[in-house]
Chains A and B, each alone.
Chain A
Amino acid sequence: NAGVTQTPKFQVLKTGQSMTLQCAQDMNHEYMSWYRQDPGMGLRLIHYSVGAGITDQGEVPNGYNVSRSTTEDFPLRLLSAAPSQTSVYFCASSRQGTSYEQYFGPGTRLTVT
């Protein structure tokens, strides 16, 4: 199993541009999440999904959209990039239920100039 994969690894955008960060998992996990990691702030939840067709907002959803058309994929869309969205983005997945381990992807480092 590849686990959780993310593309691209690095991306530089100009303010106002849009793009999609890709996330896929091959573990048949119901739950998938997107976090951003900023220095001194830990990881903050952006959006999450409890299954195909179901998504909801996390702590910091503004400026981001998600969709979950399949169990495997959970793309994160930046509608109009802003310098405040410069961050490292992590996708994670886990089994349904309580206290299960979340499996993280390798991250995407995004810089918005």
Chain B
Amino acid sequence: AQRVTQPEKLLSVFKGAPVELKCNYSYSGSPELFWYVQYSRQRLQLLLRHISRESIKGFTADLNKGETSFHLKKPFAQEEDSAMYYCALSGRDSSYKLIFGSGTRLLVRP
């Protein structure tokens, strides 16, 4: 079964602390993995994708095929990082069909 699991509903950290948002997936094949973010009163937007291996707003995510994980990390959290984060996957031939996790709300306290 194709599934994305985000085990934490809420993650609360202090400003400057490291952040790791967990994402595990189940997929029979070679998936594409993404992180989407929804800031307060804004629309859902792409944060990063595994295939581009980029760092966006200080966030990185490495695809670990052995552990079927795609955790999102940032060494020093900022207050403006507070948002809802969704991990998502798609098949390589069906990028229009995203499977989302249930989301993790990140709260960065001053």
Contacts and interface: CB of A to CB of B under 8 A. Distances in A.
Contacts, number: 62
A58 B97 CA distance: 8
B74 interface: no
Nearest to A49: B96
A68 to B, nearest CB: 12
Contact of B98 (A40, A98, A102): A102
Interface residues of A, number: 27
Interface string B2-44: 0010100100000000000000000000001000000000011
Q: Which residue of B45, B46, B49, B95 has the most chain A CB atoms within 10 A of its CB atom?
A: B95
Nearest to A105: B43
A32 B97 CA distance: 10
A102 B36 CA distance: 10
Contacts of A40: 9, 102
A45 B49 CA distance: 19
Contacts of B92: 98-99
Given A42-B101, A107-B43, 11 more contacts: A33-B96, A42-B4, A42-B102, A45-B97, A45-B98, A90-B43, A94-B95, A101-B46, A101-B49, A104-B43, A106-B43
